[in-house]
Chains A and B, each alone.
Chain A
Amino acid sequence: MNAYDLAFYLLAAMALVGAAITVLSRRLVYAAFSLLLAFLGVAGLYALLAADFLAIAQVVVYVGGILVLLLFGVMLTHRIYDTTLKSVRVQPLLGGLVAAGIAILLISVAWNTPWNTTHEIAAEPTTAKIGEAFMKHYVFPFEFVSLILLVALIGAALIGRSRTPGSGNGR
């Protein structure tokens, strides 16, 4: 077991433990913070996969953006000091069965498929290459996704705007 493997197992454990707490915890705030752990673990795995830019993006977008949004969601929809907030769980048995089923299926596929792997190419920084790919070959998807983001943000602002009687009829 070399350092790479050790790092992998540590990060994988971090991600999975985070995910497990997220899923199982009854307190919503705990769930949100353990999601941070899971995201960071995944970011570490990206780094192991020589995807340095992706790892940074994961940290910035998921941890810095999405998670904060989720926390806001938690806070705004409940009384703010109520950190003992419970989340009711329904049909845990059914959920467990389904989750276990899909996990077993995916894992067996992962191990039983003869992957056509080409490996052992030295890792190198990807940022410049990704930038070039986005500006050349993938420029259309890039612009398109920017547009989607813009539209979604405007739409979110519009939907989320307060519609109290004093502030007009929301036009």
Chain B
Amino acid sequence: MCGFANMLNAVIILAAALGSVILAFAYAGLLDFITIYLERKVWGRIMQRYGPAHVGYAGLLQLISDFLKYLSKELFSPRRVMKVFYYAIPLVVIAIITVPLILLPFDYVAISGLDGILKLIGIKVDLTKYSISLLMDHYAPGIGLLGYVAIVALSMPLMYVLAWAQSNKYSALAAFRTVLMLVTYEIPFLIAIAAAAILGGVSIYGIVQKQASGWFIFVNPVLALVLFIALLAESERPPFDHPEAEQEIVHGWNIEYGAGEFILLYGLYLYSKAIYAAGLVTLLLLGGWLGPAIPGIPISLSNAIWFTIKLVAVFLVFIWVRASVARPRVDQILEFGWFKLLILSIIALVISIALRAGGVVA
């Protein structure tokens, strides 16, 4: 059973899988770069101003310069906080929020991009089978989707602790609001995930393959609406940015943190969440990496390109929403979550069941 060839194979897979994780990180960094730049530029355009324009060509390097500047700032903590919680929880939050990079097939997309580029320059290898999320999906189907749901469910209580540990009244209010957001959207979100799973199975790769015949956004538009709103709320983007609420509780949950933690919490944590949200919309509703073949380009590279384009397009919708809405009151959010979104999500679930049971979706 445990021959030398198998051992060698396992080591190769291990190395390739680690490589795929690193590639996924690089890909996420690229997405962060694109989306934050676009958010600044497009939102600026909507507001009739320029956005970043001076660092690099058309302000392209502004993000990097901001990042370096923030990291160069002094670390400090308020007098009466528990230092352990104050410094450890941001790191825990960041560590946890990177896990979905391999739960959702970001590493698959990244590695197929590399695979396609290698094929373009004439090296014929099949790298995509070493993607760690594909391997996981092969041995335990559904671990990606369920794992992602578990991770985001965990991130909110962590944010509660983070806000509470700063011993500031504003961040305490933010902590309460975090719980409010959790009870507002988490149940509709879970029901929407269930509705998508009924249509296409629990495996993300299965769901994407199912959408070759038709994207789920057209199959079940109610599901698309619920999932989009729930993901918007989960990534705390306006109009669901109540825990942050600059005009009321002054960036509530990260009020006491300096620039270094700010760039970690705000730049990495929140934008990662937003990218995962956009990615999940792409995977569950917009056919993932599926798209018409681009002539002259290997299929694996075109997969990566289509996925990136779709994800950025979804993110542009996020920016559009952010630019055109105001922040509702907390009670209005709660009312919306329980009396509109929850009912809609149940309707979406029923439609999904009907479509599957009726045989419209095979």
Are A and B physically bound partners?
A: no
**Residues of A with Cβ closer than 8 Å to B?**
none
**Residues of B with Cβ closer than 8 Å to A?**
none
